[in-house]
Every structure is written in C-alpha cells, then in structure tokens.
Amino acid sequence: MDSKFQVSLEKAALQHHLSREEIILLLRAQPGKEQNELFAMADRIRERYQGDEVHLRGIIEFSSYCRNDCHYCGLRCSNNNINRYRFSVEQLVNASCQAVELGYNTIVLQSGEDPWYDADSLSRLITEIKKKKNVAITLGIGERSKEEYRQLHQAGADRFLLKHETTDAELFNKLRPGTSSDKRMQCLRWLREIGYQVGSGNMVGLPGQTLESLADDILFLKELDVEMAGIGPFIPHSQTPLADVPNGDLQLTLNTLAVARLLLPYCHLPATTATGTLHPEGRQMALNCGANVIMPNVTPYDYRQLYQIYPNKAGSTDDPKQSLKKIVSIINQVGRKVSEGRGDTPKPSFQIKSQNSVFLNDKHSN
C-alpha cells in the first residue's frame, strides 16, 4: 500500500482533519488492502464516537408534488408520467401516529417542494404529533423563507434535512434550474442560525462530478458542522434528462462515507436507502464503514411506489411493519443494536467557525 495513503489514513483517524489533496488520496482507495484499511479505520472511529447503536429515523413521504425541475429526480415537475399524491394533514397525523406506535423516536417528514403545505398547516401538524409523544421531528421539505423555517422550529420541529447535493456550484445550478447553490447555502445558514439540528449531504456519481468536488463536499459538511450527513449514490430515473447516466459507483460511495466518518466523528451518517437500492447488501456495507443511522420507510403502503425519486427504491413493496422488520434484521446481521433513544446531537455552543469560509460566506445577509 502507498505510504502516503497510510500516513493520510492515520492522520485522519487521529486529527479528524485532512487537506483536500489528502482526502482525494483516500477517496481513490482501491478494493483490496487500501479499502479494507479505510473501512476498518472508519468502523473503529464509528465505534469509538458513536458506539454500536444504530438510530432509526422513520420517514414519511407525504407529497410527491414538486415545484422544482431537478434533472436527477423522478418527482421533477416536468415528469407527467407519474401519479402525484399529497396527504391531508389528518392523513399525515395518522401516518405519524402509526410510526409512533411502531416505536420510532424520530419521524422524518419528507416531500417534494410543495407550497400547498403552508407554515401554519405544518405547524399544526407538528403540534398534533408532539401531543402524542415527544418524538424528534425532522423536516425534509426543501427551500422556504427564513420566517417559515423559524415558525416551524418554534412549533416543535427539531431537525431539518436539506442536502447541499454538490458543492460544485456550476453543476448544482445546471442540475437544479431555477434554484441556485448560493440560495441553498443561505437556507443552510438560516437553519443553523435558527437552532435546528442540521442535516445535509450529497449524491455521489452526478454527471461531471469530480473527486475534487467530492472532497469539497466532505470539507463543506465539516465546516457547517452538520449533525447528520446523507451520502448516497445517484440513481438514474428514466423520466429525467439524466436517464442515460450510469448509477453512482458503489465503491466510491462507500469510500466517501468512510472518509466522512473519519473527518466527522460525531456526525450521524445514514446507511442510505439509495445505497441499499444499488446493492442488496449496500446498507450492511455502509454500516460497516462508518454509518450509524438507517431511515426505514413508514409511508403507508399505497403511496410508497408513487414516490419514485429513482426506480426500484429499496423497501417500496413493503408496508411500514415489514420495512421495520427488515431493517432490524440488517442491523442484527452486522452485530449492532437498535438505539432506544432519540439520537439527538446537542451542540449548545455552536458557532460557524470560519468567518472567511470558502462555502458559507453570507452573500445574502438577511
């Protein structure tokens, strides 16, 4: 094995900090000795900082309507070939109650960017759910105004998941017409300032994405000091402009996850559904190279096949009970246990560290 590789790996494990060049070196890890060492080190760091518990976040996909036209996603507004659905507030409360009854301590409410749900109705919903049980509520509803983010946080939303998708601004702007990388960063700053536990993350395998930009993704996640980072492969959908682009590479996805674990030891890292879709054992592999979270689908059976961001999503033919059973078995297979807590990451003294940040300069001060 290249001695520079070994030196970078040991530095990452000890200091949790690497230069962009050193990150790229590790991202290039080849199957065999290099990858074995990288994954084993990431697994050791996961064990040391996160223990053996795997946190479950039950995800409810409550609307497939979206005003955006992202080139990578099957829910894009130009796709006329899907049946759209949207839960009423009552349906969403019922689905959340089912998740609570199944024992989830975190519920993730995810949707296309659907303004039909205004901040008032979402706030009512959050209040209703919190009356049943003090579960952690994560929102994954895309870009909103700062005031709306604030109102939702005041109503009880604890966490917000907004993936930065890629730090390559040109690529971001091309793949998400009508939106911008600057605005995305601004939203992430707002979420941070308001006091959410912030989740972000990126896809691996977008067309035109480089190892340099993947290294920047990890550096960005470190700089934002995210509580959670979703790193998963891009999977093409036939009804999108990226239909002919190949799947993101599984090995590169796992390398990215492992390096993220080394540099973000306290961060929650999910074994993503996309990784489980790309390979039947993908989530087990991810759990063995740094991941400590799984997000089982709690969307009622009748709707889950309609939320097609990419085809053949793992678990899309199961109901909420079956999904939970399968995920628990995956966790047991790798010798880990399901956490009984909420898996919060409190950070009372958080401050954005670098005023001269490469990524977080406030170009849109509010």
Using rule CB under 6 A, residue 76 touches ligand SF4: yes
Using rule CB under 6 A, residue 70 touches ligand SF4: yes
Site for ligand SAM in 6-35 (CB under 6 A): none
Nearer to ligand SF4, 54 or 73 (CB): 73
CA 159 distance to own-chain centroid: 12
**Pair of tokens at residue 216:** 């920047």
- Report the partner that residue 274 touches, choosing among ligand SF4, ligand SAM, none (CB closer than 5 to 8 A by kind): ligand SAM
Nearer to ligand SAM, 42 or 314 (CB): 314
Using rule CB under 6 A, residue 272 touches ligand SF4: no
Using rule CB under 6 A, residue 171 touches ligand SF4: no
Which residues 6+ apart lie within 8 Å of 161 measured at CB? 108, 110, 138, 139, 140, 199, 200, 201, 228, 230
Which x/- pattern over 52-81 shows residues binding ligand SAM (rule: CB under 6 A)? --------------------xx-x------
Using rule CB under 6 A, residue 309 touches ligand SAM: yes
Using rule CB under 6 A, residue 219 touches ligand SF4: no
- Report the partner that residue 290 touches, choosing among ligand SF4, ligand SAM, none (CB closer than 5 to 8 A by kind): none
DSSP 2-20: -HHHHHHHHHHHHHS---H
DSSP 317-336: TS-HHHHHHHHHHHHHHTT-
Residue pair 68/305 in contact by the 8 Å Cβ criterion = no
Calpha distance 361→314 (Å, rounded): 38
Nearer to ligand SAM, 82 or 328 (CB): 82
Among 203, 264, 295, 314, indicate the residue that binds ligand SAM (CB under 6 A). 203
Q: How many CA atoms lie within 13 A of 172 on its CB side?
A: 19
Site for ligand SAM in 75-114 (CB under 6 A): 75, 110, 112-113
Among 234, 268, 315, 359, indicate the residue that binds ligand SAM (CB under 6 A). 234
Using rule CB under 6 A, residue 113 touches ligand SF4: yes
**What dihedral do alpha carbons 356, 360, 364, 366 form, nearest 10°?**
-90
Using rule CB under 6 A, residue 257 touches ligand SF4: no
**Pair of tokens at residue 11:** 């530095």
- Report the partner that residue 203 touches, choosing among ligand SAM, ligand SF4, none (CB closer than 5 to 8 A by kind): ligand SAM
Calpha distance 110→199 (Å, rounded): 13
Using rule CB under 6 A, residue 274 touches ligand SAM: yes
Residue pair 62/53 in contact by the 8 Å Cβ criterion = no
Among 58, 142, 248, 282, indicate the residue that binds ligand SF4 (CB under 6 A). 142
DSSP 270-318: B--HHHHHHSTTHHHHHHTTT--EE--B-S-HHHHTT--SSTT-TTTTS
**Nearest CA to 344 among 289, 293, 296, 281?**
293
Nearer to ligand SAM, 113 or 225 (CB): 113
Neighbours of 305 (CB within 10 A): 14
Using rule CB under 6 A, residue 68 touches ligand SF4: yes
Number of residues in contact with ligand SF4 under rule CB under 6 A:
10
Report helix, strand or coil for 128.
helix
Calpha distance 345→265 (Å, rounded): 12
Instruction: Please give the residue ranges that form the binding site for ligand SAM (CB under 6 A).
Output: 72-73, 75, 110, 112-113, 140, 142, 162-163, 165, 203, 232, 234-235, 237, 274, 309-310
Instruction: Please give the residue ranges that form the binding site for ligand SF4 (CB under 6 A).
Output: 66, 68, 70, 73, 75-76, 112-113, 142, 309
